[in-house]
Structure formats: structure tokens, C-alpha cells
């Protein structure tokens, strides 16, 4: 493969992958390096999955500008890239008379940020919209432009679209240092060798601070990772009509109650310190805090119906609680995208377009590529189709008839699609994230042995080399009757 690119992007999260996608419209060579085994494995796939409307960031910050533009962009980008996206709107719900004045403050901040459609609604009306809400509700702030997104699906869509348009991705490839000549970065070192380039985009999420520092930039910038836990519920046991936020505190937007694009109620996050940069372990205290927070809004939430739990890490920086999106003055050839915490996902398309703009204004020649394909058609999800459509697809491809995951009804055909897509799944978790396999109430205990077989066959490897999430996470390690000699 080539070792010489125009732009190298470090990190394949939503910011890195959308940057690759927008840059793929130009006649340049793009490489995305990712230390994990798949796109968007950290913050981008473990977050609240909300495209915030933009009332929350302080006016005149980058966060405010990126959020409101990003929100507008998502409403057309999501259908263009075939991303599961629900124009749900959101509520901030005041519980008790004491919280009611906070709604007014948020409303006014939203007006300052030019957020359309905000409205404060009264208790009686809100009770009809969300019957399960805490009866002490005193009012709610309605933000109609907020939306719910499939976060991993969005990263994947951006990455696939970038790849279809010529960008390259390298996984399990860790950035180890910059190569520079004089006052300019000329490439990067990685665990898979050196690559030269004209520009580096630092979109490394929680590690973006360390990388900025390695380039001799942003010396005072520190990311203090904070984790947030999420719980996902059995859709048969709990359903909620709306996206519900509590009133925010100085610690953040608080624990929300929402319904994912897949139809599961999801609650979270809390806000707790990490033991290290990669600590995304859930804790008993954290899980209890999330339950308590969510029960403040919906008292009937019952932990018995939880089917999955996980934590994500926020890339919280110390730059006045704002995003860092700039070309540093200390060295040429670098764009820093640091401290992209909430509302990072909502802001991501605006940040990616800002990168294009920054590169142009720095004199980098970006010539539009003829034949750029902006649209992506996602692989079919059979359980979302009508019985007639399923029958038609199955008639064309019998693998769509063999259901491998009983709870989510995911077929062998969908697994094969995931393994043959432009950014192919190469791990069990990669298939899970792409197809929803194993995400139901049995959490993969039925499908896993079958999926291991399919993966081994498709990849042409023995079952013992099939992994959950990349090298070192093998699932089975030898055949039975091969007892090692003592």
C-alpha cells in the first residue's frame, strides 16, 4: 500500500470520519489511522445518541456555533448517508416548582443561539405527552429540532462513504509520533510504519490532547476524561414517548431518558472520574447513580428490565469548556480538533466542514473531484421491513432467510453484508454494531457460536482466530481433546 498521502486523519470517530467524508469530495489522497479494530469504538459509539438542538452551549462559543449549524446539517446529511435518525425533538423537564425558572433561562440562551421553535409548555399538557413522567413535573422546555441518531451507524456511514470515494482506513494502527521537517509536519509514525503527508488532522478524541502536545502545540491543554454510564432496556417492558432531559447542573446536562433509533429505552449518563485515559468500565455506584437520575424523571423505571450497560468517556478539555478547532501557529501542517465533548456528535458535520474551510484558508489546494458520490445506501435490516419486502429479499438471497440472532431476528445475509461492506466488520462486536445482532435480551448467547462459524468461513480463518474486538480478544482458543501436556 502507499505511504504517501495528502491528508492523514488520526482517529476514526464521528469527527474524523465525517472529515474524511467531506474531504473525499476533493482530488486528494486521504488516510485515516485508527488504533482500535473498527471505526468509532470509543466516545462516538458510547454517548447519549442525541443531536442536541443547541440551546445549551454558552452564546458566542464554538460549541454554540458548531452545535446549531451541525444540527441543521444532520437533518439532510442523515438521509443522504442512510443513517437511522429520528426527528424526535427533546424536552428539558422541570420537577417541582423550584426547577421551573431554569427553563426560562435555557429558553433565553436558546434564543441567543438562534435555536428555532423553542417553547415552554405547562404541566397539564406535558402529562398528556408523557404519561409515565414524575407527577411532580412543573413544566418542560420543548426543542423541536433535537433528534435521536444511531451513533455507530452514523460513524460507519461516514466512513463507508469516504471509502467509496477513495479514502483509506487502517485499523489497529496506533499513532506514535510526528515526523517534521523544520517548521512543518511532514508525516506520522505509527505501529504499522511511517506515512508522509501534507496535513494531519488530529481528531483523536480523548487522546487528542496528548497528540497536540507531541506536535509542540496546545501545551496547556489537558483532557480530563470523565465517564458516563448508560443502561438499555427491553423494549417489551418499557416504552417512553419522548427524549427527556432533567434541568442541567454545573456538572452537565444530567441523566436523560430517551428511546434509541432501534426502539430501546436508554438512560444515562452520569459523570464520574476515570482511573486512566481508557477506563470505560461501569461501576456499581455509577449504575446506581444513573438509575436514580432517570427515576427522578420516570419513577417506574425498573432495573430488572435492563438488557445492556456500558460507559463512554467524554473528551473534556480545559479550553474554557469550549472546543478547540484550529490550525496552530507553532507548526505548519496540523489541524487540532480537541476537547470535542457534548455536543460533539451534534456538531460533528459543522466541525468537519470547518476543517475543509481551515485547510482552504491555509492555502491547501482542494479541487473538487468529478464523480464524487455523496449518497450512501445502507445494507438492509430485515426486521425493519414488511413481510412482503422480506419475502422478496429472501427469494433473491436465501441467506436473508436464515435467522441467526433470535431476539433481533438478524439473518446470515445481513452478517455477510456487514463483512463485505466498504468498511468491513472483522470482529464479533463489529458485526454486532452494524447489524444489531446480539443486542437483544439474550445478548448473543444464542447467536455467538453460529456467528463464529460464519466469520471463520467468510474470513478464511480458523475459529480460534475470530475475535470479539480485535487481536487479544479471541473467543475460543483450542479444540476440545487437545489437552496440553502437563
Partner 1 sequence: MKKIYDVVVIGAGPAGLSAAIEAKKSGAGDVLIIERNNEPGGILLQCIHNGFGSVIFKKDLPGPAYAWNFIEQARSLNVEMVFDTMVVDITGGRKIYASNSVEGFIELDAKAIVLAMGCRERTRAQIMAPGDRPAGVFTAGMVQRLVNIEGYMPGKNFVILGSGDIGMIMARRLTLEGAKVIKIIELLPYLTGLRRNYVQCLQDFGIPLELSTTIKRITGKKRVEAVETVGVDETLTPIAGTERVIACDSLILSVGLVPENELSRKAGVVLDPLTLGPVVDETMATNVPGIFAAGNVVTIYDLVDYVSMAGATAGISAAKFAAGAPVSPPAFTLTPGDGVRTVMPQKITGLSGPDASVLVELRASREFAGRVSVNILEDENIVYSHVEKYARPAEMITLKINWNETAKKLSNNKSGLKVNIAKI
Is position 273 an interface residue for partner 1 (rule: CB under 8 A)?
Answer: no
Is position 469 an interface residue for partner 1 (rule: CB under 8 A)?
Answer: yes
Considering the complex, state which of residue 186 and residue 283 has its C-beta at the smaller distance from partner 1: 283
Is position 452 an interface residue for partner 1 (rule: CB under 8 A)?
Answer: yes
The active-site residue, picked from 52, 207, 262, 381, is: 52
Task: Tell me which residues in 90-149 interact with partner 1 (CB under 8 A).
Answer: none
Is position 372 an interface residue for partner 1 (rule: CB under 8 A)?
Answer: no
Q: What are phi and psi of 249, to 5 degrees?
A: -120, 180
Considering the complex, state which of residue 42 and residue 68 has its C-beta at the smaller distance from partner 1: 42
Alpha helices by DSSP H, 82-150: 100-112, 123-129
Is position 373 an interface residue for partner 1 (rule: CB under 8 A)?
Answer: no
Shortest CA distance to 99 belongs to which of 65, 42, 137, 150?
137
Stretch that binds partner 1, among 71-79, 101-109, 119-127, 463-471 (CB under 8 A): 463-471
Residues with Cβ < 8 Å from 84, sequence gap 6 or more?
Answer: 78, 149, 150, 153, 261, 262
Element (H, E) at 194: strand 193-196
- Asked if 197 contacts 7 with a C-beta cutoff of 8 angstroms, the reply is yes
Considering the complex, state which of residue 372 and residue 446 has its C-beta at the smaller distance from partner 1: 446
Is position 380 an interface residue for partner 1 (rule: CB under 8 A)?
Answer: no
Q: Is 52 a catalytic residue?
A: yes
Helix axes 14-23, 151-164, angle to 10 degrees: 30
Stretch that binds partner 1, among 245-253, 261-269, 357-365, 391-399 (CB under 8 A): 391-399
Neighbours of 469 (CB within 10 A): 16
Is position 391 an interface residue for partner 1 (rule: CB under 8 A)?
Answer: yes
Beta-ladder partners of 266: 232, 258
Is position 84 an interface residue for partner 1 (rule: CB under 8 A)?
Answer: no
Element (H, E) at 148: strand 147-149
E-assigned strand segments in 254-370: 256-259, 265-268, 272-273, 306-314, 324-326, 334-338
Closest approach of partner 1 to the CB of residue 412, in Å:
7
Is position 474 an interface residue for partner 1 (rule: CB under 8 A)?
Answer: yes
**How, if at all, do strands 90-95 and 137-143 pair?**
antiparallel
Is position 456 an interface residue for partner 1 (rule: CB under 8 A)?
Answer: no
Residues designated as active site? 52
Contact residues for partner 1, defined by CB under 8 A: 231-232, 236, 278, 280-284, 286-287, 303-304, 306-310, 387, 390-391, 394-395, 398-403, 406-407, 409, 411-412, 428, 441-443, 445-446, 448-449, 452-453, 463-464, 467-484
Amino acid at each position: 500500500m502507499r505511504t504517501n498521502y495528502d491528508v492523514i486523519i488520526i482517529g476514526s470517530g464521528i469527527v474524523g470520519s465525517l472529515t474524511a467524508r467531506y474531504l473525499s469530495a476533493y482530488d486528494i489522497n486521504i488516510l485515516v489511522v485508527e488504533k482500535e479494530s473498527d471505526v468509532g469504538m470509543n466516545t462516538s459509539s458510547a454517548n447519549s445518541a442525541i443531536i442536541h438542538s443547541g440551546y445549551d452551549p454558552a452564546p458566542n462559543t464554538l460549541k454554540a456555533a458548531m452545535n446549531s449549524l451541525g444540527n441543521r446539517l444532520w437533518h439532510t446529511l442523515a438521509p443522504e448517508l442512510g443513517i437511522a435518525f429520528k426527528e424526535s425533538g427533546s424536552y428539558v423537564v422541570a420537577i417541582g416548582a423550584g426547577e421551573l425558572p431554569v427553563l426560562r433561562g435555557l429558553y433565553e440562551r436558546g434564543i441567543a443561539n438562534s435555536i428555532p421553535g423553542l417553547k415552554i409548555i405547562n404541566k397539564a399538557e406535558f402529562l398528556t405527552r408523557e404519561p409515565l413522567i414524575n407527577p411532580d413535573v412543573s413544566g418542560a422546555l420543548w426543542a423541536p429540532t433535537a433528534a435521536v441518531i444511531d451513533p455507530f451507524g452514523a460513524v460507519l456511514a461516514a466512513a463507508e462513504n469516504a471509502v467509496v470515494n477513495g479514502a483509506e482506513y487502517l485499523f489497529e494502527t496506533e499513532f506514535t509520533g510526528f515526523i517534521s521537517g523544520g517548521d512543518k509536519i511532514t508525516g506520522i509514525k505509527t505501529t504499522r510504519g511511517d506515512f508522509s503527508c501534507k496535513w494531519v488532522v488530529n481528531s483523536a478524541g480523548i487522546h487528542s490532547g496528548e497528540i497536540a502536545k507531541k506536535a509542540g502545540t496546545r501545551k496547556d491543554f489537558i483532557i480530563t476524561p470523565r465517564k458516563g454510564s448508560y443502561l438499555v432496556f427491553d423494549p417489551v417492558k418499557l416504552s417512553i414517548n419522548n427524549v427527556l432531559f432533567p434541568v442541567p447542573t454545573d456538572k452537565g446536562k444530567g441523566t436523560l431518558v430517551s428511546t434509541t433509533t432501534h426502539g430501546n429505552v436508554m438512560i444515562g449518563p452520569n459523570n464520574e472520574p476515570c482511573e486512566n485515559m481508557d477506563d470505560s468500565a461501569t461501576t456499581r455506584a455509577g449504575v446506581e447513580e444513573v438509575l436514580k437520575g432517570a427515576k427522578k424523571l420516570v419513577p417506574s423505571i425498573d432495573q430488572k428490565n435492563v438488557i445492556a450497560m456500558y460507559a463512554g468517556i467524554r473528551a473534556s478539555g480545559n479550553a474554557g469548556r469550549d472546543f478547540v478547532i484550529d490550525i496552530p501557529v507553532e507548526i505548519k501542517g496540523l489541524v487540532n480538533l480537541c476537547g470535542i465533548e457534548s455536543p460533539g456528535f451534534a456538531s460533528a458535520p459543522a466541525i468537519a466542514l470547518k476543517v475543509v474551510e481551515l485547510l482552504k484558508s491555509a492555502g491547501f489546494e482542494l479541487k473538487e473531484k468529478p464523480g464524487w458520490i455523496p449518497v450512501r445506501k445502507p445494507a438492509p435490516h430485515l426486521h425493519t421491513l414488511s413481510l412482503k419486502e422480506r419475502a422478496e429479499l429472501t427469494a433473491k438471497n436465501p441467506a436473508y432467510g436464515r435467522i441467526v440472532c433470535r431476539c433481533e431476528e438478524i439473518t446470515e445475509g445481513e452478517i455477510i453484508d456487514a463483512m463485505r461492506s466498504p468498511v468491513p466488520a472483522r470482529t464479533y462486536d463489529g458485526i454486532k454494531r452494524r447489524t444489531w445482532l446480539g443486542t437483544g435480551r439474550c445478548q448473543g448467547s444464542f447467536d455467538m457460536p453460529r456467528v463464529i462459524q460464519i466469520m471463520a468461513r467468510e474470513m478464511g480463518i480458523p475459529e480460534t482466530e475470530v475475535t470479539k474486538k480485535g487481536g487479544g480478544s479471541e473467543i475460543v482458543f483450542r479444540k476440545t481433546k487437545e489437552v496440553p501436556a502437563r
